[in-house]
Every structure is written in structure tokens, then in C-alpha cells.
Amino acid sequence: MSNGRKIAAVVLAAGKGTRMKSERAKVLHRASGRPIAYYPIRAALALDCSPLVVVVGHQAEQAQSEIGQLFPSAKFALQKEQLGTGHAVLCAEDALRGFSGDVLILAADVPLVRAETLQGLIDAKKQSGAQVSLLTSRPKDPRGYGRVVRNAKGEVARVVEEKDASPEEKKIGEVNVSIYLFDADFLFRALRTVGRGNAQGEYYLTDVVAQGRAVAVLAEEAEVSGVNDRAQLASSASQLRQRKNAQLMKDGVTLVDPAVTYVDEGIEVGPDSVLEPLVSLRGKTRVGRAVEIGQGCVIVDSEIADGVRILPYSHFEGAKVGRGAIVGPFARLRPGAQVGEAAHIGNFVELKKTVFGKGSKANHLTYLGDAVIGEGCNIGAGTITCNYDGANKLPTTVEDGAFIGSDTQLVAPVRVGKGAYVGSGSTIREDVPPGALAVSAGKQRNIEGWVAKKAPKKASKG
Ligand code: UD1
Ligand code: CA
């Protein structure tokens, strides 16, 4: 998409966002796992805007680092003091030196705006030959916004801020949403003449509109509503989620209840996968085809191969799960957990930095940390790797086909050889050779008649 003319973008992200009541800059608050500034910037880049300059001020370093990581091509301009939107755009002038064409201006706190709508601004400016096209809307409640004042011919004459508006002007229903396309030369020439003799003592970008010919493009309120407080953050986030979920369903993923399915931006899920209610997929997670993810699972930065079944209420972080494996319910995979193909990890099993071999099973109540478990092993209920000696993390190895009886402690560093057996209730401190049986529990003694003779008497009632 383009208009033949070059387009640069300036994204205003310097404001504090007082109404968020937050230590964190408003534009860094997250929706679907990304700072809200991510969304308008992505829309601008979809139109091939270049250069793209983000004006930062409040928490500038943090903003630059988070946004710069997401968009390595973005340039940054610093607005040290937030003297108004007009001043903010002037701060980007240096970064745009040598550029001629149109400048798209976006507020970083309007995450729902779509590239198609921005294209509408480009088309309107081109067709009208105006110096400015601005996006407007007719919200149910226009209070707080700048109003679009039109002349007798119905053309856009100027924008007046709510705080400077007359009672008559306050009745105007069409508002400015802070998204514009300006002729670059006109913009910077006009900005230099803008003063701060207004109710807020700020340099208003809106004052530029009256200095040239402007056309308005009306947008749906929902798409251009800004995030100024936590309630608006939640409602914008919910819209973004709906868009993402709609896309997943279009791509062949079943969402049992999309209203309560949370998939971060950028996450891919393969077709024929099923996400049950309250599933949350976060960060860099990738999910293959025909994967079933049960209710209440939280999966962070993990890779799930095709055909995996994850039963309800499991929590993964930094894990990899191989094709056809079955994990959960109530399983916990911590960073470095790698579950092999067709392996089974059952309830209340925790894996950390552990490679768990193809077809192996650990079905109940187990902790495996810093371990390598071979293929086709059976890890009995209640098996624990004692991998920490108070200072160091130590490795455990269980070779292919080994059988670890229930309630075993594997005291690391230790190795159980290929095909070996460990009797239940064992504390294994020494390596077990391949093919051996290791038992360490003491021999059982039964003391006949002990209960009648020696057992403590229950206190009698009354
Ligand atoms: C602005 C518009 C108003 C419009 C409204 C839509 C002006 C003067 N007014 O008002 O007509 O209806 O947006 O939401 O432009 N920012 C900076 N530096 C500053 C001030 C603001 O970078 O010095 C950034 C903010 O971070 C934000 C954007 O500009 O992303 C808009 O600022 P905000 O203070 O929300 O403007 P409004 O007063 O709402
Ligand atoms: Ca605003």
C-alpha cells in the first residue's frame, strides 16, 4: 500500500499517562503480551512508512529499549519536557531531516487503528490535494477530545481543544483522534508559528490544522479510541484479543470459548488444534497442528509439536514438548524441560532442565531436575531427583529402558544404567550398572502382637 509519495511516520509516545496512575509509561503497558505502542507502529510499518520516528520522553530509556527491540528499524527522538503534541512533533524534526513527502502522525496510545484506515488518510489527502488529512470520529461521549470545527461550506476549519472550546463548540460531535497525514514542509513551517497561549499552556499540534487545507476521514469510534486509563486499556486489550482469536479460528483452530482464550500477539497455532477455555498462550510460544490444550493451561515461551495432548491446569515455561506426547493434568514444565516424542508426563510431575526421552513415562508425583532420562524408561510415582546439595545443581542420568520403582530418591550426581531396575523406596546414592537391580530399603520386620501390647492407648471419651 502506498500513494506514490514517500511517507514518514512520527509516533507520539512521550506522555506520562497520568490517569494510568502508574510508575510505568503508558505506552509500555501491555495488551496481548506487547506494549500498546507496538500496535500503531506495526500499522504504520504495514504502509511502508520510512523513516519511522518514535518520540519518547517519560521513561524514555525504557521506552526506547522495549520498542527498539520490537522494531529495530525505528528511530527515536527525545522530548525532554512534555510541552504538548506540537512540541513533540518538532522534536522529531531532526530525525526527519532531508525527508520530503508526507508525515503520518500517530498517537502511541491508540492501539486498535488498522493499516486499512491509515490508507484511507493517504487516499483522502491525495484525492483532495489538501495539506492535511485527519482522522475523526463521532464518539457517544465527545467530552475530553478536541472538536472538529467546520466552516459554512462544511470544510474542516480548525480543531479546538475541549478546554479552549466555547459552549457552542463543545456541542460538536465530531472529534479529532490524533492521527493525521501532513505534508512535511507545511507541517514544520506551520509548527514554528504555533504558540502556547491556550488553556493548557501547551504547543498544540492541532493548531496547525487551521493553517492549511484539511480534509477529515471519519472512523469508527471503537477503532480510534485511545488508552488513557486502566479501564480503556482492558477494553482495547479485549478488542485485540478478539481480533487475534478470530484470525486463529479462520486459520483452522478450534477455540471452545473465544471470550476466555488468551493468545499473545505473534503466537502461531497449527490447524486442527483445540484450545479449551481459559488457556493462556504467552510470549514466544509455538503450537503445532492437532494439539489439544486443556482448560486452564498457561504456556509461556514453549514449543509444542504436532499431536500433543496437554490435559487441564498445566503450566509450562521455556519447555519443548515432542510430537504425540501427553502431559498433565497439573503438570509443571520449567525452563529447559524437553519432553520426547510420545512420552507421558502425568499429574503433579515437575520437570526442570531435564531431557525426557522418547516414549518414557513419569505419570505421578515426581520431580526431575537437571536430569537426562533415556528412551522407554518408567519413572515410578514419587520419584525425586535430589539435584541440589545446598551449593550446586548436580546431574542425574537414567539410561534407556531403565525402571525406577515408586518412591525412589536419586541422589545426584548419579547414573542408572541401561535397562537397570531400582526397587521401590530406594535411596540411590551410587551408580547402578546396566542390567542390575538396585535395592536400598532396609529389610522389613513384622513384630507380631505389637498393637495389643505396646500401641499407645487412645484417650477414652468423657
Ligand atoms: C490530543 C489532541 C486532541 C485529541 C486527542 C485524542 C492536541 C493538542 N490535542 O489531546 O485534539 O482529541 O489527543 O486523544 O494534540 N504526547 C507527547 N508529548 C506531549 C504531549 C503528548 O508525546 O508533550 C503524546 C502522548 O504520549 C500521547 C499523544 O501525544 O500518545 C496524545 O497526547 P494526550 O496528552 O493524550 O493528548 P490529549 O490531551 O488527549
Ligand atoms: Ca489522549
User: In which band, very low, low, confident or very high, does the pLDDT at 455 lie, cut at 50, 70 and 90?
Assistant: confident
Q: How far is the CA of 312 from the centre of ligand 2 (A)?
A: 41
C-alpha 89/C-alpha 22 separation (Å) is: 25
Distances (CA, A) of 333 to 145, 240, 316, 412: 48, 28, 5, 20
1 pLDDT above the threshold of 70: no
Least confident span in 40-44, 225-229, 251-255, 261-265: 225-229
- Atom in ligand 1 nearest the alpha carbon of residue 204: 8
Whether 330 contacts 313, CB under 8 Å: yes
Give the domains, in start order, of the chain with CATH numbers. Answer: 7-229 (3.90.550.10), 231-438 (2.160.10.10)
Whether 217 contacts 121, CB under 8 Å: yes
Q: How far is the CA of 228 from the centre of ligand 2 (A)?
A: 6
Q: Which residues are catalytic?
A: 364
User: With DSSP H G I counted as helix, E B as strand and the rest as coil, what are the percentages for the chain, rounded to 5?
Assistant: 25, 30, 45
C-alpha 304/C-alpha 126 separation (Å) is: 48
**In terms of residues, how long is the chain?**
462
What integer is the mean pLDDT of 440-444?
89
Residue with CA at minimum distance from ligand 1 atom 13? 178
Identify which of 148, 178, 191 to mutate to test ligand 1's pocket (most ligand atoms within 8 A of the CB). 178
Stretch (H or E) spanning 116: helix 115-128
- Backbone phi, then psi, for 376, in 5-degree steps? 60, 30
Per-residue pLDDT at 462: 56
Residue with CA at minimum distance from ligand 1 atom 34? 15
Q: How far is the CA of 205 from the centre of ligand 2 (A)?
A: 13
Among the listed residues 43, 40, 234, 46, the one whose alpha carbon sits nearest the alpha carbon of residue 55: 40
Per-residue pLDDT at 442: 86
How high does pLDDT run on average in the chain? 96
- Among all bound ligands, the one having the nearest atom to the CA of 145 is 1
Full DSSP string of 282-318 = ETT-EE-TT-EE-TT-EEES-EE-TT-EE-SS-EEES
Q: How far is the CA of 15 from the centre of ligand 1 (A)?
A: 8
Helices within 225-369 (DSSP H only): 230-250
Per-residue pLDDT at 16: 83
pLDDT in tens, 94-106: 999 999 999 999 9
What integer is the mean pLDDT of 282-287?
98
Among all chains, which residue has been given the C-alpha cell 493517504? 122
What DSSP state is assigned to residue 60? H
Among the listed residues 91, 74, 94, the one whose alpha carbon sits nearest the alpha carbon of residue 83: 91
Per-residue pLDDT at 458: 75
With a CB cutoff of 8 Å and minimum separation 6, the contacts of 330 are 312, 313, 314, 347, 348
Residue with CA at minimum distance from ligand 1 atom 39? 145
Per-residue pLDDT at 349: 98
Per-residue pLDDT at 441: 82
- Atom in ligand 1 nearest the alpha carbon of residue 161: 11
Per-residue pLDDT at 301: 98
What DSSP state is assigned to residue 59? B
User: In which band, very low, low, confident or very high, does the pLDDT at 213 lie, cut at 50, 70 and 90?
Assistant: very high
- Atom in ligand 1 nearest the alpha carbon of residue 15: 26
Whether 299 contacts 293, CB under 8 Å: yes
Burial of 35 (0-12, 13-18, 19+ CB in 10 A): buried
457 pLDDT above the threshold of 70: yes
Residue with CA at minimum distance from ligand 1 atom 3? 146
What integer is the mean pLDDT of 377-401?
97
pLDDT in tens, 302-339: 999 999 999 999 999 999 999 999 999 999 999 999 99
Q: Which residues line ligand 1 (CB under 6 A)?
A: 12-15, 55, 57, 79, 82-85, 87-88, 107-109, 145-146, 159, 161, 175-178, 204-206, 226
Residue with CA at minimum distance from ligand 1 atom 6? 177
How many other β-carbons are positioned within 10 Å of the β-carbon of residue 346? 20
CA 306: distance to chain centroid? 23
Q: How far is the CA of 177 from the centre of ligand 1 (A)?
A: 9
- Atom in ligand 1 nearest the alpha carbon of residue 26: 26
Residue with CA at minimum distance from ligand 1 atom 26? 15
Whether 406 contacts 383, CB under 8 Å: yes
User: In which band, very low, low, confident or very high, does the pLDDT at 461 lie, cut at 50, 70 and 90?
Assistant: low
CA 65: distance to chain centroid? 16
Distances (CA, A) of 135 to 33, 176, 182, 224, 251: 27, 7, 12, 9, 32
Label each residue of 380-398 as H, E or C. Answer: CCCCEEECECCCCECCEEE
Among all chains, which residue has been given the C-alpha cell 531531516? 97
Dihedral angle of Cα 315, 316, 317, 319, to the nearest 10 degrees: 170
List CB-based neighbours of ion ligand 2 within 5 Å.
Answer: 226
3 pLDDT above the threshold of 60: no
C-alpha 353/C-alpha 358 separation (Å) is: 16
Amino acid at site 450: W
Q: How far is the CA of 358 from the centre of ligand 2 (A)?
A: 54
Burial of 8 (0-12, 13-18, 19+ CB in 10 A): buried
What integer is the mean pLDDT of 269-277?
98
